[in-house]
Amino acid sequence: MLPNSLREAQNTKSNCHKHGQVLAVILSVSSSKNNNLLFRYPCDTSDELQDAAADSDSTARNEFAVKNDDSYYEVTNQFFQHLGIGENGLITYSDNVLSTFLAVQSSQLANKPFDVKVDDVQFVGYPVSVKHRKKQSKETSSASLTNVNVVFALPESVTEATKACYHQLSQQVAMAIKHEESRCCYFCTQKKLMEPILEDYREDPCRHPSLIMLDKGYTLPKTLKNVFDQVSDTGIVYELMNGWTEINFCLPIKAHNLPFDSELYITEGDIDSCLDLLRPYHAMLLLVEVRSLIKQLPTDSSPALVRLLRVYSAKKNLQELAADSDLELSQIFKLVCHLVYWAKATVIYPLCEHNVYALSPNAPTSM
């Protein structure tokens, strides 16, 4: 039976869900003038870290200052020993440190996967170049170039396949920002709202500016927070940038590993190998209600997918579904693979009264 090959990938409590767990989302902006970290979520707001960051920032302001006393090196070493992933699971680098090594000033590095490893944290992104149009007069205008890098912080133990998935998510978010900027100057408008809060924080570091931006309801920080929350909770992201550009993403290693079954560990490779074994005599079992799934479909979804869902039955094999929906069998295969990848369906043998079915002992049964 096809699903059994998925269960051959079981792993005994090896931090399986942590492999796809994201630590933070960071918005870094670089231009010819400066590098800036506009937003990060979640952020460590402990007083100890803020004091240490303020001390390190003050020593870095004067590049000609020299400290020869041993106490300086002792404090500096203590500060950098706490960098990386803290006990609360948050990255503990200060905003100034992050803005330095996440900066992408050269346009030649744009539109390429971004990958930096610092200590026990892996930073994955996809920087893009965004043009800002500035009207100088009625007849002339100039354009300034800014590199926008949406970065996801991951544990160092993350697999290459999971890193590739986060590269795709970063690319989707960055390209959505770029599209909205060209459509209605969205990023430039949001940036002008966010920068004064950063300046106030530098003069009087009290509450982290990212939290203030969320409280004020700025849409770009809110969208980044929603993306982080969705990929952390379910592994499936559906968000609209500026209420217009869609962001659709699925992290298979998160979406297919259920929280109530800690012994089941499914990777991207397991899904691909199982889908290669798909045959016409198999059936599809939806994991969500048909009506709910149809409502979740985006506006530009394939009409063929809706036709398949309307004739769906777990008692029918794929050959029968193709005949009832008047679609090619090859197209049915592609649609089923798509639903399985997005954790909306699984593959079984057709249900019949002669088979014996058992409920998983770990499955939630409470209503």
* Tens-place pLDDT, residues 168-207: 999 999 999 999 999 999 999 999 999 999 988 887 778 8
Q: Which residue has the higher pLDDT, 19 or 228?
A: 228
List the single range of 25-29, 44-48, 292-296, 328-332 with lowest mean pLDDT: 44-48
Q: What is the pLDDT of residue 308?
A: 97
Which tops the pLDDT comparison, 315 or 206? 315
In whole angstroms, give the CA distance from residue 342 to residue 335. 11
Two tokens, residue 142: 């100039």
Q: What is the mean pLDDT of the chain?
A: 81
Average the pLDDT over each of 132-141, 240-249, 326-335, 349-358 and give the range with the smallest value.
132-141
* Per-residue pLDDT, 2: 40
- The pLDDT of 104-115, averaged and rounded, is 84
Residues 173 and 27: their CA atoms lie apart, in Å, by 10
Strands (E), 170-301: 236-241, 245-250, 283-286
Task: Output the pLDDT for position 17.
Answer: 40
Q: What pLDDT is stored for residue 232 in this prediction? A: 92
The structure's pTM equals: 0.80
pLDDT for residue 231: 94
pLDDT of residue 191: 93
Residue 21, pLDDT score: 83
**Residue 32 confidence (pLDDT) above 90:** no
**pLDDT mean over 288-303:** 90
The pLDDT, as a whole number, for residue 255 is 87
CA atoms within 13 A of residue 295's CA, in its CB half-sphere: 5
Count of CB atoms within 10 A of residue 218's CB?
17
Has residue 80 got a pLDDT over 90? no
- Split at pLDDT 50, 70, 90, the class of 133 is low
Query: How far from the centroid of its chain's Cα atoms is residue 132's Cα?
Result: 26
Burial of 87 (0-12, 13-18, 19+ CB in 10 A): exposed
CB 283 within 8 A of CB 333: no
Section 224-230 average pLDDT: 96
Q: In the structure, what pLDDT confidence band is assigned to residue 47 with cuts at 50, 70 and 90?
A: very low
Percent of the chain with pLDDT over 70: 77
Confidence of residue 88 (pLDDT cuts 50, 70, 90): low
pLDDT at position 72, please? 43
pLDDT surpasses 60 at 63: no
* CA neighbor of 11 nearest in space, from 267, 197, 276, 359: 267
Largest distance between two CA atoms of the chain:
83
